[in-house]
Chain A
Amino acid sequence: MRIIKMYKKFLEPFLECLGQFGRLYAPVRKNGVLTYGPIESISEAVFSDEHPLIPIKKLFHPMKFDMFRFGESGFQPDYSMVEKRVIIGVHPCEIHSLLRLDDVFMADPPDPYYSQLRHNSAILGFSCMPTENSLCTSTGTDIVEEGYDLFFIDLDQFYLVWVGSSLGHDMILCHDEFFEDEVTHEDIAKYVAWREKRNLAFKKSFAFRNMPDLMELSYNSEIWEQFGKKCLSCGQCSMVCPTCNCYDTTDVLDVSNKVSGRRERMWDSCMFVDYSLVAGGHNFRATRADRLKLWYTHKLKTFGKEYGRPSCVGCGRCVDTCPVDINVLTVSQALSAREVPK
């Protein structure tokens, strides 16, 4: 691992130069909401501690797209959304979320849409300070060791830059003169102080490591009924969660007498009533309590069983978003205290 130093004044010209590696993407503000999108110039990018409302998954697992067109003689996949991209300003929890999504979408056989988008995208991570509901120290996702090409840690006058891949190395060569290989003792002291300050800035935490056991013990708990009474089944929690990845496919036929059309793929949520509806009209999770139990058991326990680590990356979006305060914090509190908070 190579760690180098860059003074702040070089950031814009350096990033601007990365256009040669692909189309630049970054968090931008649109109608007051932070969102990942393509940018024409670095000045549009918003570098902040705030998380975009919809996580980075949307750039790899698009919300809604046509998988292929079909006709009477076969089908034609549509990969038109794949392009070379350089995604700038990605926080640690987001990088972790992509590694979790890789577990799902890159497993054999890989999802061709996701993997092509992934292989064609460079990730430029940026450090952040915790926001009101950040929980990443609880989930162990506050720092990153893999999953980026470059990672910038903001130490006021300069950045320490972690080079995480050979692509990241090539990017540095774009403006080699901006970077210094020598990291002084003083720089390291600054970094250590930053880590300490950051660790102390977290306002909230939850018993992440206890969750798999608590889930197991609480399978029949009345707590799920109580949360189920409150839940609006709006599905916002799964849309904003960076590791929720369910989708639905629909064949949209052409207005014609021929058998032709397109298969559309769109984000779905296990909080919606038809998610577990099967042929014949049986619904495995007709009640809201069962749906919530599925969501939380999957997120905090079962995913871990399958892929070695639970899928919550502590971004805090469910805490920011649920209109009736059902989120990893309130659920873990309820399971620990056996009481649903008012």
Chain B
Amino acid sequence: MAKVKDTPVQKPRIGVYGFTGCAGDQLILIHTEDEILNLFAAADIRSFVMASSNPPEGDLDVAFVEGSISTEEEREHIQEIRKRAKILVAIGNCAVSGGPQAMFANDGSFAKRLRDVYGEVKFITDPIEAAPIDAHVTVDYYLPGCPIDSQQAFALISRLLHGADPEPSLHPVCHECKLHENRCLLLDKKLCFGPLTKGGCGSACPNHGLPCVGCWGPQADGNFRQHFELLQSFGLSKEEVFRRIKNYGGHKILEFIKDI
């Protein structure tokens, strides 16, 4: 049985914050109606941008942070949150990997891309290249997904409420894909990133005959070199495979593909 500490006398103080992203992860939390009510009963929700305006800011036991950091102002704000929070959890692909806005991460073209899109304007706050939360502060736990999965999210939240360590998710999408009894798309020479991608989504895409595009981010044990070779044997170019996996791989994919 999970090791749990004695029932806390004080309810844990929780804050939920959103940076650059679609706010879809906060929406998943709010839309899980039974659990969100339980959460409001079990925790002292100090700040939840989406659920209330004007939150009081103070020390926190846990901060959940959604979105990538893409302006100077956001960078200062995340550093300030980190100082106040005992535990910081990055939620959703943008916070974990940088999100689709980081698909060109570190390729040296940021200044040019910014100019191409916005022209020569003066910004209220200086834009910086979109990066995951852990590019700026230390992150204690990650909850990947685009958007996050409510079951996986509340399993982690309830662990934290009890002072227990969350279960890490170390299996590829293929695990859940087989439990859903899907025929493997690779056998039909379709580009599926399932073996390279963290599980937790319940194999949402293959369940509908669609290949996994990797939105849960890279699975650290993935056999990247062999899988790319296999995909190339289907007639895809290496560039095409790289381009596609970077869509959601953001900053996190770079270390896995740097030697390939």
Q: How far apart are the CA atoms of A235 and B167 in the complex, in Å?
A: 19
**Max chain B C-beta neighbours (<10 A), residue from A64, A250, A252, A257:** A257
Of the listed stretches B46-54, B99-107, B155-163, name the one at the interface; the rest are far from the partner chain: B155-163
Asked whether, in the complex, the Cβ of A263 is within 8 Å of the Cβ of B1, the reply is yes
Q: Which of A278-326 contact B (CB under 8 A)?
A: 288, 321, 323-324
Of the listed stretches A87-95, A181-189, A226-234, name the one at the interface; the rest are far from the partner chain: A226-234
Of A53, A229, A254, A257, which one neighbours B181 at CB under 8 angstroms? A53
Task: Say if the beta carbon of B222 comes within 8 Å of chain A.
Answer: yes
Of A30, A64, A261, which one neighbours B158 at CB under 8 angstroms? A261
Closest Cβ of chain A to B185, distance in Å, is 9
Task: Say if the beta carbon of B27 comes within 8 Å of chain A.
Answer: no
Q: How far apart are the CA atoms of A230 and B223 in the complex, in Å?
A: 8
Asked whether, in the complex, the Cβ of A273 is within 8 Å of the Cβ of B170, the reply is yes
Closest Cβ of chain A to B250, distance in Å, is 22
Task: Say if the beta carbon of A239 comes within 8 Å of chain B.
Answer: yes
- When A230-B226, A234-B172 are in contact, do A256 and B178 touch as well, CB less than 8 Å? no
Q: How far apart are the CA atoms of A263 and B38 in the complex, in Å?
A: 19
Task: Say if the beta carbon of B7 comes within 8 Å of chain A.
Answer: yes
Q: Which of B207-225 contact A (CB under 8 A)?
A: 209, 220-223
Task: Say if the beta carbon of B75 comes within 8 Å of chain A.
Answer: no
Task: Say if the beta carbon of A9 comes within 8 Å of chain B.
Answer: no
Q: Which residue of A lies closest to B168 (CB)?
A: A274
Q: Which of A26-44 contact B (CB under 8 A)?
A: 30-33, 35
Q: Which of B1-29 contact A (CB under 8 A)?
A: 1-2, 4, 7-8, 11
Q: Which residue of B lies closest to A261 (CB)?
A: B158
Task: Say if the beta carbon of A236 comes within 8 Å of chain B.
Answer: yes
Task: Say if the beta carbon of B61 comes within 8 Å of chain A.
Answer: no
Asked whether, in the complex, the Cβ of B38 is within 8 Å of the Cβ of A231, the reply is no
Closest Cβ of chain A to B216, distance in Å, is 15
Q: For chain A, which range describes its interface: under 10, 10 to 19, 20 to 34, or 35 or more residues? A: 35 or more
Q: How far apart are the CA atoms of A272 and B199 in the complex, in Å?
A: 12
Closest Cβ of chain A to B167, distance in Å, is 6
Task: Say if the beta carbon of A70 comes within 8 Å of chain B.
Answer: yes
Asked whether, in the complex, the Cβ of B172 is within 8 Å of the Cβ of A253, the reply is no
A63 contacts across to B, CB distance below 8 A: 179
Asked whether, in the complex, the Cβ of A255 is within 8 Å of the Cβ of B42, the reply is yes
A267 contacts across to B, CB distance below 8 A: 179
- When A251-B1, A253-B162, A259-B7 are in contact, do A234 and B195 touch as well, CB less than 8 Å? yes
Asked whether, in the complex, the Cβ of B175 is within 8 Å of the Cβ of A252, the reply is no
- When A232-B227, A236-B184, A251-B1 are in contact, do A257 and B8 touch as well, CB less than 8 Å? yes
Asked whether, in the complex, the Cβ of A235 is within 8 Å of the Cβ of B162, the reply is no
Asked whether, in the complex, the Cβ of A257 is within 8 Å of the Cβ of B226, the reply is no
- When A232-B195, A259-B162, A263-B1 are in contact, do A254 and B38 touch as well, CB less than 8 Å? yes
A256 contacts across to B, CB distance below 8 A: 38, 41-42, 158, 161
Interface mask (B178-212 → A, CB under 8 Å = 1, otherwise 0): 11011110110000001100000000000001000
Q: How far apart are the CA atoms of A273 and B175 in the complex, in Å?
A: 12
Closest Cβ of chain B to A213, distance in Å, is 30
Of B39, B186, B223, B230, which one neighbours A255 at CB under 8 angstroms? B39
Task: Say if the beta carbon of B141 comes within 8 Å of chain A.
Answer: no
Q: Which of A110-145 contact B (CB under 8 A)?
A: none
Q: How far apart are the CA atoms of A263 and B162 in the complex, in Å?
A: 15
Of A32, A231, A253, A266, which one neighbours B183 at CB under 8 angstroms? A32
Q: How far apart are the CA atoms of A305 and B41 in the complex, in Å?
A: 55
Asked whether, in the complex, the Cβ of B178 is within 8 Å of the Cβ of A324, the reply is no
Q: How far apart are the CA atoms of A64 and B162 in the complex, in Å?
A: 24
A229 contacts across to B, CB distance below 8 A: 226
Task: Say if the beta carbon of B149 comes within 8 Å of chain A.
Answer: no
Asked whether, in the complex, the Cβ of A269 is within 8 Å of the Cβ of B7, the reply is no
Asked whether, in the complex, the Cβ of B175 is within 8 Å of the Cβ of A239, the reply is yes
Task: Say if the beta carbon of A2 comes within 8 Å of chain B.
Answer: no
Asked whether, in the complex, the Cβ of A64 is within 8 Å of the Cβ of B4, the reply is no
Q: How far apart are the CA atoms of A274 and B161 in the complex, in Å?
A: 25
B159 contacts across to A, CB distance below 8 A: 253
Q: Which of B22-77 contact A (CB under 8 A)?
A: 35, 38-39, 41-42
Closest Cβ of chain B to A251, distance in Å, is 4
Q: Which residue of B lies closest to A269 (CB)?
A: B175
Closest 7 CB pairs of A and B: A239-B178, A234-B174, A273-B221, A323-B186, A255-B38, A251-B2, A232-B195
Interface residues of A (CB under 8 A from B): 30-33, 35, 53-54, 63-64, 70, 229-236, 239-240, 250-259, 261, 263, 266-267, 269, 272-274, 288, 321, 323-324
14 contacts between A and B (CB under 8 A): A31-B182, A234-B175, A234-B194, A236-B174, A251-B2, A253-B4, A255-B157, A255-B161, A257-B42, A259-B162, A266-B179, A272-B221, A323-B230, A324-B226
Q: A254-B38, A263-B1 are in contact. List 9 more A-B contacts (CB 8 A).
A: A233-B172, A233-B221, A233-B223, A234-B184, A236-B184, A252-B155, A253-B4, A255-B35, A257-B7
